[in-house]
Amino acid sequence: MGITKTDLFTTEQNELAKVAKVLAHPARVAILEYLIQANTCINGDLVGSLGLAQATISQHLRELKEVGIIQGTIEGVSVCYCIDPVRWEEIQNLFSGLFQRYSNSEGGDCC
């Protein structure tokens, strides 16, 4: 099939999965790390830094933007991208919520 049965799961589970999917490509991780260092960048910077074609970078940027983790502002001829701090923290909490839920409940170990 290739289609996910989202109706079987909670909104939170679907949301976490959706965000994880955006992080599930090394190019998108690399873009975020580039932005952490550089604070802002344009598409062309990334084409030079990563080894992917312009169209491919643009596609990855769109996915990052769609989930809200970055934002783009038109700046003359180019588009300036940066991390959205509010959404970043929101997503951070989404993940740490899952991870801490287990860490805090460590009881009997395993089978």
Other CB atoms within a 10 A radius of the CB of residue 69 amount to: 21
Cα atoms in the Cβ-side hemisphere of radius 13 Å centred on 33: 9
94 binds, among a second copy, DNA, none (CB under 5 to 8 A by kind): none
Binding of residue 59 to DNA (CB under 7 A): yes
Binding of residue 60 to a second copy (CB under 8 A): no
Find out whether 43 and 35 touch, Cβ atoms under 8 Å.
no
Binding of residue 76 to a second copy (CB under 8 A): no
Cα atoms in the Cβ-side hemisphere of radius 13 Å centred on 68: 11
Residues in a beta bridge with 78: 75
Considering only residues 40 through 59, tell me which ones interact with a second copy, judged by CB under 8 A. 40, 50-52
Kind and range of the H or E run holding 87: helix 85-103
- Candidate residues 12, 36, 40, 44; the one interacting with DNA per rule CB under 7 A: 44
Residues in contact with a second copy by CB under 8 A are 4-6, 8-10, 13-14, 16-18, 20-21, 23-30, 32-33, 36, 39-40, 50-52, 71-73, 75, 80-85, 88-89, 91-92, 95-96, 98-99, 101-103, 105-111
